[in-house]
Amino acid sequence: MNSTHMLLFCLRERLLDSDVISLACFLVEDLRASSPADLSHDEYQTAADWLRTHTRHRPEVAIICGSGLGMLADTLGCQESFAYSDVPGFPQSTVQGHAGRLVFGVLKGKMCVCMQGRFHMYEGHTLSKTTFPVRVFKLLGVKTLIVTNAAGSLADGLQPGDIMIIKDHINFPGFVGLNPLIGPNDDKFGPRFPAMSNCYDKELRCLATEIGKQLEITGLMREGVYAMVGGPNFESIAEARLLHRLGVDAVGMSTAPEVVVATHCGLRVFGLSLITNKVVKTYEDSDSVNHEGVLEVSRLRSVTVQQLVTELIGKMDINNNGPNDAGTKF
């Protein structure tokens, strides 16, 4: 059932009023038109070639830093960094807590590249721009992508400061046709219909849990399902209740498109959410979330996240490309 069918179903079942349906159909079509896979292979290649000529680093692991988690990049040794504005094709970061730098370096003997700041759909970037760096990383020879984000908790067992290892995601924008893979498929990157049932690598999730035991932080860690909503507003109480009933453990405004594109091109993915707030689910609760509070919790826990990611990179088998890799095509 596509989004228009879904809206018509709601109308028939008298779940929504006809004016709301017309407006929603209009918005869905409008959003679809603004986010096709509109970049050519050459545009990714140009960025990758530019980076290859400007650095001698040849990264195997890429890390995307979530809100307030940019200091992950500070731990890299032998650093070389580039402002996004200098790299051909890279969009600009516009969100506080996302510095807008690409940092190359070495962590535990492995060559890494770190995005100090990511791109979000709500900033007005098309989804192909939002996920642009992921394909550039693939062209640079990256095999594993680590995604981190700040997220609100819907699960009773997840408190601010906890770390949720992402087991799976719900890509809500994808339900209404906002998917970075929409448009002509670039077969050089991956298949028209990629599977998403293995997108968060099981071996890396197990390894992270083991590392959590060694770091004595198991009390802070659990696995869960992350849901991406479009943002930029935080959830209404009715939306929070809906997400909770759907089995979502943590909600945020990023990550899913990056993981879809990474899985499409055969990258192995590990994801974690730093829980920065409880999502308000009752009308009696006078709490409300704000971005400054999100950044504060992220920064307070960033050393722990840094230790977990560093140990994970140190212990991961770089030659295991995970179940989605159909062989490198470049």
Ligand X SMILES: O=P(O)(O)O[C@@H]1C[C@H](O)[C@@H](CO)O1
72 or 150: CB nearest ligand X: 150
Computed from CA positions of residues 224, 230, 232, 236, in that sequence, does the dihedral angle turn out positive or negative?
A: negative
Q: Using CB under 6 A, pick the residue from 37, 121, 136, 150 that binds ligand X.
A: 150
- Under rule CB under 6 A, residue 150 binds ligand HPA: yes
Q: Would you call 36 helix, strand, or coil by DSSP?
A: coil
* Structure tokens belonging to residue 229: 């909503």
Query: Is-contact 62 72, C-beta < 8 A?
Result: no
Catalytic (active site) residue 171:
no
Report the distance separating Cα 177 and Cα 314, nearest Å: 38
Q: Phi and psi of 121, rounded to 5°?
A: -60, -35
Binding pattern for the stretch 282-311 against ligand HPA, x by CB under 6 A and - elsewhere: -------x----x-----------------
Q: Which stretch binds ligand HPA (CB under 6 A): 101-109, 110-118, 168-176, 271-279?
A: 271-279
Binding pattern for the stretch 277-296 against ligand X, x by CB under 6 A and - elsewhere: --------------x--x--
Q: Which helix (H) or strand (E) holds 11?
A: helix 3-12
Catalytic (active site) residue 47:
no
H helices of 265-330, in order, are 291-315
Binding pattern for the stretch 158-177 against ligand HPA, x by CB under 6 A and - elsewhere: --------------------
Q: Using CB under 6 A, pick the residue from 35, 130, 144, 276 that binds ligand HPA.
A: 276
Q: Using CB under 6 A, pick the residue from 75, 277, 302, 324 that binds ligand HPA.
A: 277
Report the distance separating Cα 59 and Cα 267, nearest Å: 13
CB of 295 to ligand X, least distance (A): 7
Query: Residue 2: exposed, middle, or buried by beta-carbon count in 10 A (0-12, 13-18, 19+)?
Result: exposed
Catalytic (active site) residue 200:
no
Strand 250-252 versus strand 110-116 pairing type: unpaired
Query: Residue 195: exposed, middle, or buried by beta-carbon count in 10 A (0-12, 13-18, 19+)?
Result: exposed
Q: Using CB under 6 A, pick the residue from 65, 163, 225, 251 that binds ligand HPA.
A: 251
Stretch 188-227 residues interacting with ligand HPA (CB under 6 A): none
- Residue number with the smallest Cβ distance to ligand X: 66
Query: Is-contact 183 140, C-beta < 8 A?
Result: no
112 or 305: CB nearest ligand HPA: 305
Catalytic (active site) residue 125:
no
- Under rule CB under 6 A, residue 66 binds ligand X: yes
Non-local (6+) Cβ contacts of 133 within 8 A are 62, 64, 90, 102, 115, 119
Catalytic (active site) residue 277:
yes
Q: Using CB under 6 A, pick the residue from 37, 112, 208, 253 that binds ligand HPA.
A: 253
Catalytic (active site) residue 291:
yes
Q: Using CB under 6 A, pick the residue from 44, 82, 132, 234 that binds ligand HPA.
A: 234
Q: Using CB under 6 A, pick the residue from 67, 116, 131, 324 that binds ligand X.
A: 67
Q: Using CB under 6 A, pick the residue from 151, 204, 225, 295 that binds ligand HPA.
A: 151
- Under rule CB under 6 A, residue 253 binds ligand X: yes
Query: Residue 47: exposed, middle, or buried by beta-carbon count in 10 A (0-12, 13-18, 19+)?
Result: buried
Query: Is-contact 201 268, C-beta < 8 A?
Result: yes
Q: Which of 102, 132, 127, 94 is nearest to 257 (CA)?
A: 127
Q: Which residues are catalytic?
A: 67, 98, 120, 122-123, 150, 253-254, 277, 291
The residues that touch ligand HPA, with contacts defined as CB under 6 A, are 150-152, 234-235, 251-253, 276-277, 279, 289, 294
